[in-house]
Amino acid sequence: VAERAQREAEDALQIRNDFLSSISHDLKTPLTVMRGTIQLLQRRLKQGDMSALLDRLKVLEVSINKMQGMIEDILTIAQLKAGQHLDLDIRPLNLFPLITRIVEEQQEITHRHHLHLSTYSRDLPVQGDAIRLDRVITNLLTNAIKYSPDGGSITLDITDEEESNQHWIVMRFQDQGIGIPEADQPFLFRPFYRASNARGHIPGTGVGLASAAQVVREHGGTISLSSQQGQGSCILVRLPVNGKSEERGDV
Amino acid sequence: MMKEQNTTNQAQAPILVVDDDYHLCQMVKWVLEDEGFEVQMAADGREAVERALLQQPKLILLDMRLPLLDGKGVAKQVHAHYGTRVPIILMSADWHGEEKRRQIEAVAYVRKPFNIDDLLQVVQNTLQRSA
């Protein structure tokens, strides 16, 4: 028993060290881009050179969004750890324009992956927090890209279904990447947990998927995964069209 | 003076920028292109080695944390192929930059988040020394 306790303590320490080293790297990267881009813009403006300013401002904005997203994820995890509910700003919202924008943004930064979006409708109404759901979809797509380092196609397939008197929007994120070993699958939605075939090979913090899962659940939705190692992964997200049904409670 | 520098730089081999963050590569590319350098980008370690072997770069700016093959692996293969003819500058986010630099036998390192003037200074110094 003492041995087991010690092993768990060592694991926890290892996880904490890995997390701190990953997160400091991940936060400093957009910070470097922001600082560099601002200095580039200052140079241009001093020289009276007004060319290509918009390109640089766009990169600045993307980096700010990226950093904000990471901070949101960390705070989501912190709230989850503290056993608190998230403060959600729930409004009626069409997911379609949000999704198309994210898919386009992600396609722009990779030439190895082909992103495909298929949807049953251009009207995807949910009761949701736009910023949080944006983050969920961004995280799931960036994961699909990140965990298929050899490239390939990534599909986001959107359908709807009726179940337990509810209308659901169903999003399937399918990649052709490294997949998730079966032994890791039950733990993958836990904060800081990283699959054994990713740890040490693919940089990451173990925060994105856990915070995405938390946000989906707090919307009354469900998230699940299916995968075979080496054969890609599929993450399935279901969101209720009419929002969280309080009286049914959490099951 | 600027113009002369531009023409000489352009006539030479590219600088290879390796980072898994597309926008960081893009930003560094702009910084170097403004000085007249030709720049190539690579998003992972394997692509970096492929590009480096296809065309000898005059210099590699290298991140440590990369998919497929980490910075250490890239440096090893580049050194195996070119010896010290292709200097490597490490772009490091952590506090053990000097230790990492020695580990991978890079000639210098810049710590993220760096100032672009400092980056250029390190690049220019390295190129002068290897010229």
Any residues with CB less than 8 A from the CB of B28 and at least 6 apart, and which?
Answer: A36, B17, B19, B39, B61, B119
Interchain CB distance below 8 Å, A149 and B115:
no
Specify the pLDDT at position B54.
96
What does the alpha-carbon distance between residue A171 and residue A108 come to, in Å, rounded to a whole number? 21
- Token readout for A210 is 């856990």
Greatest alpha-carbon span in chain B:
42
**Chain B contacts in chain A segment 198-227 (CB below 8 A):** 201-203
B27 touches chain A (CB under 8 A): yes
What does the alpha-carbon distance between residue A158 and residue A153 come to, in Å, rounded to a whole number? 16
Q: Quick check: A37 and B34 in contact, CB under 8 A?
A: no
In terms of pLDDT, which residue wins out, A135 or A24? A135
Q: How far is CA A66 from CA A62, A228, A235, B7, in A?
A: 6, 30, 22, 37
A28 touches chain B (CB under 8 A): yes
Split at pLDDT 50, 70, 90, the class of A24 is confident
Instruction: List pLDDT tens digits, range A66-120.
Output: 999 999 999 999 998 888 899 899 999 999 999 999 999 999 989 899 999 999 9
B19 touches chain A (CB under 8 A): yes
Buried/exposed code over A226-236 (b: 16+ C-beta within 10 A; e: otherwise): ebebeebbbbe
Number of CB pairs, chain A paired with chain B, less than 8 A apart: 76
Interchain CB distance below 8 Å, B65 and A34:
no
Instruction: List pLDDT tens digits, range B58-109.
Output: 999 999 999 889 999 999 999 999 999 999 999 988 878 899 999 999 999 9
Q: For a pLDDT cut of 70, what percent of chain A falls above it? A: 98
**Cβ-based contacts of A146 with chain B (< 8 Å):** 67
Instruction: List pLDDT tens digits, range A156-182.
Output: 999 999 988 899 999 999 999 999 999
Specify the pLDDT at position A246.
61
A88 touches chain B (CB under 8 A): no
Interchain CB distance below 8 Å, A24 and B93:
yes
Q: Which residue of chain B comes nearest to A56, CA vs CA?
A: B27
Specify the pLDDT at position A245.
72
Q: For a pLDDT cut of 90, what percent of chain A falls above it? A: 75
What does the alpha-carbon distance between residue A4 and residue A8 come to, in Å, rounded to a whole number? 6
Handedness of CA A226, A228, A234, A235 (dihedral sign): positive
**Cβ-based contacts of A32 with chain B (< 8 Å):** 24, 27, 112-114
pTM score, whole prediction: 0.88
Among all chains, which residue has been given the structure tokens 């440590």? B64
